[in-house]
Structure 1
Amino acid sequence: MIRLDSISKQNGRQLLFIEASAALQKGEKTGLVGPNGAGKTTLFRMITGQEPPDEGLVIMERGVTIGFFSQDVGEMAGRSAVAEVMDGAGDVSTVAAELRDLEAAMADPARADDLDSLIERFGEVQARFDELGGYALEGRAREVLDGLGFSQEMMDGDVGKLSGGWKMRVALARILLMRPDVMLLDEPSNHLDLESLIWLEQFLAGYEGALLMTSHDREFMNRVVNRIIEIDGGSLTTYAGDYAFYEQQRAMMEKQQQAQFERQQAMLAKEIKFIERFKARASHAAQVQSRVKKLEKIDRVEPPRRRQSVAFDFLPAPRSGDDVVNLRRVHKRYGSRVIYDGFDLLVRRRERCCVLGTNGAGKSTLLKLVAGATEPDDGSVSIGASVKMGYFAQHAMELIDGDHTVFEALEHAFPRAGQGSLRALAGCFGFPGDDVEKRCRVLSGGEKARLVMAQMLYDPPNFLVLDEPTNHLDMATKEMLIDALRDYEGTMLFVSHDRHFLAALSNRVIELTPEGVHHYDGGYGEYVARTGHEAPGLRS
C-alpha cells in the first residue's frame, strides 16, 4: 500500500535517512521504533505528504486513505465531542455536511423555485449517506468514545472545555471512526487509562487496514503489532514479530556482529604484527607485500552501535517505622460526588502498593490525601515515624522554573551537592553532556518528567508516592526506573497504566470499585490471575 524507496532526509546537520527503504502492506500492524530524534515523526510527515524526502520516493497505491493521529491535536471548541469525532469520519462526514446544506436549502423560501432539483439531489445524497452507513455513524462515534473512557455527559458537552489529554482522545477517536486504509498513530497510548488502553488493543486487533505506530508502552506494542521497523543510523530495518521478538533478534544480531568484529580485529592485529616485524627484511618482502594487499581488500566489520543505556542506583534510604501511612474513616467528596465514605487503609514498610480503579474512582485523590496535597473532609491520615516522603504528581512538571537550565534546576534542589555528582545524576536521567544546559522551558513532557524524577530520587525518600510516573517516559527510561526501583528498599504507593511497570514492581494491589475497596496480596500478575481481568472496569 505504501513503499518508501531509497529515501534520504537531512534535518539541519543531522542525516535522518540515508537511502532507506521499507514497505507497509494491508493487514500489517507495524511498530516504528528508534531512539529519540531518530526521525520517527519525520517519517510520518513524509508519508502524509507534509514533508518531501530530499531524495528517493514515497510511493502510495491510488485511492489509499490515510488517518494520522499525532500529539499535536490543534484547536477544538464550539461543538460536542460526538460532533467533533463524526466530522473526521472521511467521506461520510462530507456527505453528511451536504445533506445538512440541502435540508436548509429546501426549507428556505427563497429557494422555492429550485425545490424539485433540490429534492432530487437530496435523494441521491441520502442514498449515498445510507450506503456509507451514515445513519449508524453517531452510534459508532459514541461506541468509540465510550471505549476511550468518555461518559455520556462528556460526549455531549463542549469539547473546548476538555483537558488536553481528553482532547487527544477525541482526536484519536476521529481516526478510529474513520477506519482509513492506513492508520498512522504517533503515541496513541499516551493519556489513556488501563481500561481504554485494553479497549484500544481489541479495536486495533479487529482493524483490517495497515497500521504504523509508535508507543512507549511495551505491553501495548507486543499485543498490537506483528512487525517492527527500526530507524537506526539513517537506515530502516524490518523485523517480523512483536516488540519482544525484535528485542531478542536485535540482541542476537548485535552479539553476532560483536563476535565477527572481535574475530576480525584479532586477525588484523596478527597480520599487522607480522608486517611490522618483517617489513625491513628483504627475504620476507613478497610475503609482507602480499599481506598488505590482503588487508587493503578486506571489508571491515563495524562494531555494533551502542545504544545509550542509563542506570541509576539509589543511595540507601533511611529506615522508616513499620506503619508508613494509616487512613482511618476518611470521607472525601467533590461537590455532590462522593469519592470516599469511611475509607480505611494501612500501608506497611516495604509494601509496594499499586492502586487500580476506573476513571473517577479516586486513585489520584488517594495519593493526594497521603501526600498532604488535599485534606479529608472527615477522618484522619497519619504518616508513620521516620517517614521521608517523595511525591511525584503530574502537576509537578508545571512547577519547574522555565528560566533555569537542567543543571541549575538540580543545583537549586541540591545546593550542597558536587558538580560531578549532579552531572552524573543528569546523565542517568537522559541529560548527558551539554544537554544539562537546556532551558527547562524548551523541555518536552518526557524530559520534564525525567528532571522531576531526578530531583525526587537523588536524596532518596523511604516512601515513594507516584501518580502515573511513566506517562511521558520512553522505554529505555522506564526500564532504567524499573531496574532502580526493583532494588529500592523503601515503601511505594503508586498509580500507573503501564502493565509492565505494574507487574515488575507491585507486591500488593488496592482495587477501588463502586462496590468498595478490594485488597489483593501479591503483585499485579497475581491480581490478573485471580480476578481474570486486567483492570477493575473489565470483567471476565
Structure 2
Amino acid sequence: MTLININALGVTLGDPLFTDLNLTISKGDRIGLVAANGRGKSTLLGCIAGSFDPTTGEITRARGLQLAHVQQHLPQGAAGKTLYDHVLGALPQEQQDYESWRVDVVLDELKVPYDLQHRPMAELSGGWQRTALLAAAWVTQPDVLLLDEPTNHLDLHRIGLLQEWLGALPRDTPVIMTSHDRAFLDAVTNRTLFLRADQSRAFALPFTKARHALDAADAADERRFANDLNKANQLRKQAAKLKNIGINSGSDLLVNKTKQLTERAAKIEAAAKPAHREQGAGDIKLANRGTHAKALITLDNAMVETPDSRALYETGKTWITKGDRIVLLGTNGTGKTQLIKMIHRALTAGEVPAIKCAPTVTLGYSDQHLSQLDDADTPMTAVAGQFDIGDQRARGLLAGAGVNIQMQDTKIGTLSGGQKARLAMLILRLQQPNFYLLDEPTNHLDIEGQEALEHELINHEATCLLVSHDRSFLRNVGNRFWQIDRKRLVEVDSPEPFLRAEMAG
C-alpha cells in the first residue's frame, strides 16, 4: 500500500540539489538515502516531513498519515530538559497526564539506563542525545519514521542496539534514513535511493548490492550515450556525402535526403542523455614519503594510562613495519585513543621511553575532533601558509578537496564537519608523511569520501595505525588487527569476533 507518492520533485538552492525525483513509499519500505555531503538528503527528508517546501513537484501523503522526523541536532530548548521530560514532551498535553507509561516503554525498548533518563540533555553524550530524539519520535506512534544520520556519535554497541531495535519495529512501518555507515545500511534497509542533481536512481536492494546495480546502470548509460553519438555521427557523415553528390548532380531528391539525415542526427543528439558524472566533493589523495626503515615504531612493553595516570593495559613488545595498516580494536574507555596519543608524543616530543621511532618517520596525524585545525584560521591560510605552493595552486587543491571558492577565505570554524574532514585530509596529503596516526578518520566523511580514503591508504601502501567504529572502513583497510583484551594488547587474525561481541553487547 502506497503511503507517500513523490512526483517530479526538485529543490534548487542556488544550484539544483535534486530534480525530477519520483519515488513511492509503501508499507514495509526501509529506504536508505545516499548522497555526498550537502547534496540534499536532509532537505529531502524535510520535504517529506512537510517542514521544507520543494521548488518543483509535489508530495502526496495518505489521509491522516502521521510522520516523525528525527533530525541531526537538538531542537531549541531541549538542552535544558531531562531526557525523560524531552521524550514526554513529544506527547500531546492530554496524553502526558494519563499515558506517560508510553515513555517508560520506549526508553526500555531503547535500553536507556534509568540514571541517564533524569539527567539534563546538555550533560549527555551526543550518542545519548540522538537516542533521546529517536525515543521522542517513536513515542508518538508514527506511521512513517524519518531518520537523519541516526548512527552519528554512536559506538558499535549502540549501533548494534539500534539495528536490533529497527529490526523489531512493526514490519509494515516504513523507515527512510540517511547514513554514511555502509554496514548499517546493509543491515537495516531493503531499498536504496541514490540522490543526485539529476538522474536519481532507486533500487529495491540494500546499499552494497544497490551500489553494484548503480555502477552497472551508469556503465550502461555510458555505452548507450556513446552509441547514440556514434549513430548521429555516422548519419552526419552520410548526409555530407549525399550533399556533395546532390549539389554536383542537381538532384532535389538527394538534397531532401541530406536534410532528413541531418534532422535525424539532430534528434538523436538531442535525445541522448550523457551518463551521470558525480560532481565529486573532492578526492582524498595521500602521499607516502619513502623510508628505508623496516620497523617504523617499536613498542617495548609500554604501559598505556589514563590522563590521571591510572594503568589501562600493557602493549607487550611489538612493531609497526612498513606497509602495515593496523586497526586498534577495543570497547569504549579501554584506551584506544590514549595509545594513539602516546605514539604521537613519542614521535613529536620523544618523551615516551618505551616507544622507539625510526628517525626517518614523517608523521601524519588526525584525531577524531580534528583538533589539528584552528577554527580561527581560514582554509587558504591553513594550506598556503604551511606549504610553499602558491595561492593559485592552494585554491585549486582546496576546490579539489571539496572546499569551494566561497568558503576558502572564511573561518574554518564555519565549515561543515565534512568540509573540515576533507581539509584535514588535504593537509595530511601535503605533509607527505610515511606513517599515519588516524583516530576516527571517517567521522563526518560521506561514503564517497570514505571510499576515496580507503582507496588511497590501500593503493599507496600507506603505513598507519587507526581507530574506527566504521565496520566497512576497518574491514576494507586493515591488514593487521590489535585488540585491547584484559589489560593486554594482543594481535588477532580478524576483527569479526570483536565486532560480533560488540554488536551483540
TM-score by length of 1: 0.81
Q: Where in structure 1 are there 5+ consecutive unaligned residues? A: 99-124
Partner of 1:97: 96
Q: Which amino acid aligns with 1:273?
A: K
* Alpha-carbon separation, structure 1, partners of 2:196 and 2:474: 30
Superimposed CA distance per residue, residues 433-481 of structure 1 (whole angstroms, 9 cap, x where no aligned partner): 6664554233101101111121122222222111100010011111110
Q: Which deviations, in whole Å up to 9, do the C-alpha atoms of 1:53-107 show, x marking residues without a partner? A: 344432222333222111121343444334434444x46xx45632xxxxxxxxx
SS at match of 1:537: helix
Question: Which position in structure 1 is the counterpart of 2:169?
Answer: 207
Please point out which of 365, 372, 386 is paired with 1:413: 386
Deviation at 1:432, TM superposition (A): 5.8
Match of 2:495? 527
Task: Give the alignment of 1:427-466 within 5 angstroms.
Answer: 427-431=399-403, 436-437=408-409, 439-466=411-438
RMSD over equivalenced CA pairs, Å: 3.1
d(CA) in 2 for partners of 1:180 and 1:327? 56
SS at match of 1:175: helix
Alpha-carbon separation, structure 2, partners of 1:239 and 1:140: 32
Q: Which amino acid aligns with 2:65?
A: V
Structure 2 counterpart of 1:32, one-letter code: L
- 2:232 pairs, out of 268, 271, 286, with 268
Would you say the 8 A contact 1:66–1:182 is kept in 2? yes
Alpha-carbon offset, residue 246 of structure 1: 1.9
Match of 2:452 in 1: 480
The correspondence for 1:198, drawn from 141, 145, 160, is 160
Shift of 1:354: 1.3
Q: Cα distance 1:374–1:385, how it changes in 2: closer, same or farther (>3 A)?
A: closer
TM-fit CA distance, 1:491: 2.8
Partner of 2:209: 245
Residue deviations 1:126-171 (CA, integer Å, cap 9, x gap): xxx3xxxx5474254145144xxxx654444332223445433432
Aligned residue for 1:304? 275
Residue 41 of structure 1: aligned partner: 42
Q: Which amino acid aligns with 1:365?
A: Q
TM superposition shift of 1:500? 1.1
SS in 2 for 1:372: helix
Report the 3-state secondary structure (helix = DSSP H, G, I; strand = E; otherwise coil) of the residue aligned with 2:369: helix
Deviation at 1:15, TM superposition (A): 3.5
- Identical amino acids, percent of aligned pairs: 26
Q: Kindly indicate whether the alpha-carbon contact (under 8 Å) linking 1:356 and 1:535 is maintained by their aligned counterparts in 2.
A: no
Contact 1:357–1:536 (CA<8 Å) still a contact in 2?
no
Kindly provide the amino acid, as one letter, of the partner of residue 452 in structure 1: A
Q: What amino acid does structure 2 have at the position aligned with 1:61?
A: A
Q: Equivalent residue for 2:7? A: 6
Q: How far apart are residue 411 of structure 1 and its match? A: 0.8
Distance (Å, rounded) in 1 between the aligned partners of 2:330 and 2:288: 33
Structure whose alpha-carbon radius of gyration is higher? 1
Tell me the residue number matched to 2:265: 295
One-letter amino acid of the structure 1 residue matched with residue 226 of structure 2: E
Query: 1:228 aligned to 181, 188, 192, which one?
Result: 192
Offset of residue 430 of structure 1: 2.3
TM-score, length-scaled by structure 2: 0.86
Q: Which residue of 2 aligns with 1:72?
A: 73
* Structure 2: distance between partners of 1:462 and 1:373: 16
- Aligned residues of 2:235 and 2:264 also touching (Cα < 8 A): no
Q: Does 1:394 align with 2:368?
A: yes
Quote how far apart the aligned CAs of 1:235 are. 5.6
Task: Verify: 1:498 aligned to 2:483, yes or no.
Answer: no
**Structure 2: how far apart are the matches of 1:251 and 1:364?**
37
Give the 3 Å change call, closer, same or farther, for CA 315–349 of structure 1 in structure 2.
closer
Give the direction of change, closer, same or farther, for the CA distance of 1:173–1:517 in structure 2 (3 Å limit): farther
Q: Residues 86 and 138 of structure 1 are in contact (CA less than 8 Å); yes or no, is this contact kept in structure 2?
A: no
| Preserved CA contact (<8 Å) 1:407 1:437 | yes
Instruction: State how far apart, in whole Å, the 1-side matches of 2:353 and 2:471 are.
Output: 32
The structure 2 residue matched to 1:157, chosen from 116, 119, 135, is: 119
Distance (Å, rounded) in 1 between the aligned partners of 2:85 and 2:470 = 31
Residue 488 of structure 2 aligns with which residue? 517
Alpha-carbon distance in 2 for matches of 1:37, 1:358: 32
CA distance, structure 2, for counterparts of residue 63 and residue 517 of structure 1: 57
Amino acid at match of 1:38: R
Secondary structure (helix, strand or coil) at the match of 1:6 reads strand
Matched ranges for 1:279-428 at <5 A = 279-280=243-244, 281=247, 282-283=250-251, 284-298=254-268, 300-309=271-280, 310=283, 312-320=285-293, 322=295, 324-326=297-299, 328-330=301-303, 332-333=305-306, 338=310, 340=312, 342-344=314-316, 346-350=318-322, 351-372=324-345, 380-386=353-359, 387-397=361-371, 399-404=373-378, 406-414=379-387, 416-419=388-391, 422-423=394-395, 425-428=397-400
User: Displacement, 1:338?
Assistant: 4.1
Tell me which of 75, 81, 97 is aligned to 2:83: 81
Tell me, in whole angstroms, the C-alpha distance in 1 between the residues paired with 2:421 and 2:284: 16
- Partners of 1:97 and 1:373 in 2: CA distance: 56
Instruction: For residue 241 of structure 1, give the secondary structure of its aligned residue in structure 2.
Output: coil
- Structure 1 pair 434–3 and aligned structure 2 pair: CA distance change class (3 A): same
Alignment deviations for residues 196-246 of structure 1 (CA, whole Å, 9 cap, x no partner): 112211211222211101111111111111112232234653211111222
| Equivalent AA in structure 2 for residue 97 of structure 1 | Q
Paired position in structure 1 for 2:129: 167
Give 1:504 shift: 1.2
Question: Offset of 1:305 from its aligned partner?
Answer: 1.9
When structure 1 is superposed on structure 2, of 250-259 and 74-83 the one drifting more is 74-83
Residue by residue over 1:465-518, the C-alpha shift from the partner in whole angstroms, topping out at 9 and shown as x without a partner, is 1110001001111111000000344432111011111011112222224x3335
Instruction: Check conservation: 2:329, 2:495, Cα contact below 8 A.
Output: no
CA contact (8 A) 1:401 1:440 kept: yes
8 A Cα contact 2:34 2:193, kept in partner: yes
Amino acid at match of 1:361: T
Secondary structure of the structure 2 residue equivalent to 1:326: strand
Query: Match of 1:467, as an amino acid?
Result: D
CA distance in 2, matches of 1:62, 1:511: 53
Alignment match, 1:189: 151
